[in-house]
Amino acid sequence: METFEHVVDVLVIGGGTAGPMAAVKAKQANPALNVLLLEKANVKRSGAISMGMDGLNNAVVPGFATPEQYVREITIANDGIVNQKTLMAYARNSFAMIEELDRWGVKFEKDETGDYAMRKVHHLGTYVLPMPEGHDIKKVLYRQLKRTRVEITNRLVATRLLTAEDGRIAGALAFDCRTADFHVIRAKSVVLATGAAGRLGLPASGYLFGTYENPTNCGDGHSMAFHAGAELTGIECFQINPLIKDYNGPACAYVTGPFGGYTTNAQGQRFIECDYWSGQMMWEFTQELQGGRGPVFLKLDHLAEETIAQIETILHTNERPSRGRFHEGRGTDYRHRMVEMHVSEIGLCSGHSASGVWVDEHARTTVPGLHAAGDLACVPHNYMLGAFVYGRLAGESGAAFCAAHDHAAVDAGQVERERARVWAPLRRERGLPPNQVEYKLRRMVNDYLQPPKVTRKMEIGLERFEAIREDLHLLQAREPHELMRAMEVHAIRDCAEMAARASLYRTESRWGLYHARADHPARDDANWFCHVQLAKDEAGAMHCFKRPVEPYLVEIGDAEKTSYERLRIRAEAGPAVASASSEPAVA
């Protein structure tokens, strides 16, 4: 096993969605810069959109929505806890990004006059732009990477960021998951784009890799940012999604909704007005499951043959195409049977909820020279298009940082400690296998952190995560691939601890199911209308603190504030349905 050193200007970690965009934009901002895109898998097929995407979920298109309307909608959907400057930076750059992607060859649905064929899925506004032929979006990105001459390395797993004495970024450390060679990469600025922490809870199937997110995205970036001293935020606002049971992929009400599909309970009744994913939507979904009216289904069987055929074409060729094979195995034909849905395990993902590394409106973290974008960076509900927009901002900010800074000195101690940590599992002759440690850790995440959250349970969970911290010193890897899994367990454990600590800190309930605390059931704006930040203290331990919500750019009327709390259909159906609603959001 050897050690290699690289010196670049901008290092982008993560080659999925935001990362390639950041690399291209850094290079476009200054073609003289040496930009390295480092990927754990292979840039051609990595990340959340390895098989493409079926639509934009948050397109701010003139004539359909204004940036102000979008900022208002997401502020309300996220129960007020947003930095509107970051949302506005997204919203103002959203349309320009759509047009650029269109020029690059990404195919969006258009009407007969050539206008974008926008659809309404959100509770208030119209933001969904279908991409029925969105399966080759990774190829489009790859062409741009080649065209702008971004340097790419595949199969390198970044494990820690390098920081200088003054706290600014100095580069990153990584290892090769095929050879276990160690890499020291010096950089003037770094963009983190490692995606969600999607391998946190254990799927009900028990299959470690049967997650909603691409399981490569296991929170390495969250862990790296924390250890580099960056602030994370909203970690207690978990990602929990309504998914196809067992398959654990999206049922895709966003795709089917505009065609007439909808979510229903076992009695075939609609119980929510809007299928847009929010904490309150997940709360209502759970009420239906626990109130004896479940399971919940995606209903398509009332649609016309040609509509269903069209839906099948979109859903079975894009994003998660194996769902067709799953339905076939279960005998589920959309024409005759509704699709059984379930509640996912927890994860951390800004793309769908609001947890991640704190960034400003230029994608800058609190560590000088470190930028973040995509599912990792907290820009609430920012989805794929948000990853592209913030990827652009991060790339441009990263390039600008290079203009004003030279390479920071590398701390040899950091390199030596990390190399020892990374190679340790290979050097043990006996030890614990990574898959078992991961299984136990993630089962404990389910047992102690899955909402509704209970104080005493989360405290016990923290004890278990502390015990597993000791087990990390016993992990054994027989070869480099297993070493990758071993080091991922370290990151997953960090994320589990963050999830517990941030959840314990916020002693109220907010965001519907995402942060439903059974022993603090009420929303408490007097004490908790603020961000909860998590960072390393002087002793290296995790600590939480409050960060005030900055004054809004777009005012929210009192009547609007609660509109996402009124998702449940006020049924004529009687008391069973009516009594199940509203708590904890109203309380």
481 binding other proteins? (CB under 8 A): yes
* Alpha-carbon span 295 to 549, nearest angstrom: 38
Helix, strand or coil for residue 376?
helix
Pairing of strands 129-130, 55-56: antiparallel
CB of 46 to other proteins, least distance (A): 5
Helix, strand or coil for residue 364?
strand
CB of 205 to other proteins, least distance (A): 5
Number of residues that bind other proteins (CB under 8 A): 41
Q: Which is nearer to other proteins, 295 or 368 (CB)?
A: 295
* Alpha-carbon span 199 to 484, nearest angstrom: 14
Q: Which is nearer to other proteins, 92 or 330 (CB)?
A: 330
Residue among 165, 171, 151 nearest 224 (CA): 171
316 binding other proteins? (CB under 8 A): no
* Alpha-carbon span 215 to 550, nearest angstrom: 34
140 binding other proteins? (CB under 8 A): no
- What's the distance, CA 581 to chain centroid? 28
CB of 336 to other proteins, least distance (A): 20
Q: Please choose, out of 22-30, 40-48, 235-243, 304-312, the segment that lies near other proteins by the rule CB under 8 A.
A: 40-48
Question: Phi and psi at residue 267, in whole multiples of 5°?
Answer: -85, 5
Site string for other proteins, 217-246 (x = CB under 8 A): -----------------------------x
145 binding other proteins? (CB under 8 A): no
42 binding other proteins? (CB under 8 A): yes
384 binding other proteins? (CB under 8 A): no
Which tokens hold the place of 205? 């199937």
Task: Work out which of 28, 126, 205, 562 binds other proteins, going by CB under 8 A.
Answer: 205
CB of 264 to other proteins, least distance (A): 23
* Alpha-carbon span 391 to 47, nearest angstrom: 14
Q: Which is nearer to other proteins, 486 or 502 (CB)?
A: 486
Residue among 161, 386, 114, 134 nearest 252 (CA): 134
Which amino acid type is present at position 353? Answer: S
Q: Which is nearer to other proteins, 469 or 561 (CB)?
A: 469
Q: Which is nearer to other proteins, 143 or 570 (CB)?
A: 143
Site for other proteins in 396-435 (CB under 8 A): 430-433
211 binding other proteins? (CB under 8 A): yes
Q: Please choose, out of 36-44, 79-87, 258-266, 383-391, the segment that lies near other proteins by the rule CB under 8 A.
A: 36-44
* Alpha-carbon span 545 to 200, nearest angstrom: 23
* Alpha-carbon span 115 to 59, nearest angstrom: 13
Peptide bond into 433 cis (omega under 30): no
Per-residue DSSP letter, 232: E
Residue among 249, 149, 127, 141 nearest 193 (CA): 141
Task: Work out which of 20, 34, 38, 50 binds other proteins, going by CB under 8 A.
Answer: 50
Task: Work out which of 17, 57, 216, 223 binds other proteins, going by CB under 8 A.
Answer: 216
Q: Please choose, out of 295-303, 320-328, 340-348, 527-535, the segment that lies near other proteins by the rule CB under 8 A.
A: 320-328
Edge-first strand listing for the sheet containing 542-548: 356-357, 232-233, 530-536, 542-548
Which tokens hold the place of 452? 């509704």
313 binding other proteins? (CB under 8 A): no
Residue among 193, 198, 197 nearest 374 (CA): 193
Q: Which is nearer to other proteins, 81 or 158 (CB)?
A: 158
Q: Which is nearer to other proteins, 214 or 533 (CB)?
A: 214
Q: Do residues 173 and 357 make contact, with C-beta atoms less than 8 angstroms apart?
A: no
Instruction: Give residue for tokens 């930040």.
Output: 533
Q: Which is nearer to other proteins, 264 or 318 (CB)?
A: 318
Task: Work out which of 5, 115, 209, 302 binds other proteins, going by CB under 8 A.
Answer: 209
Q: Which is nearer to other proteins, 345 or 361 (CB)?
A: 345
369 binding other proteins? (CB under 8 A): no
CB of 330 to other proteins, least distance (A): 8
277 binding other proteins? (CB under 8 A): no
158 binding other proteins? (CB under 8 A): no
302 binding other proteins? (CB under 8 A): no
Per-residue DSSP letter, 406: -
Contacts of 420 (CB under 8 A, 6+ apart): none
Per-residue b/e over 105-136, b at no fewer than 16 CB within 10 Å? ebbbbeeeeeebebbbbbbbbbbbbbbbbbbe
Binding site for other proteins (CB under 8 A): 41-42, 44-47, 50-51, 154-155, 177-178, 205-211, 214-216, 246-248, 320-322, 325-326, 329-330, 430-433, 470, 474, 481, 484-485
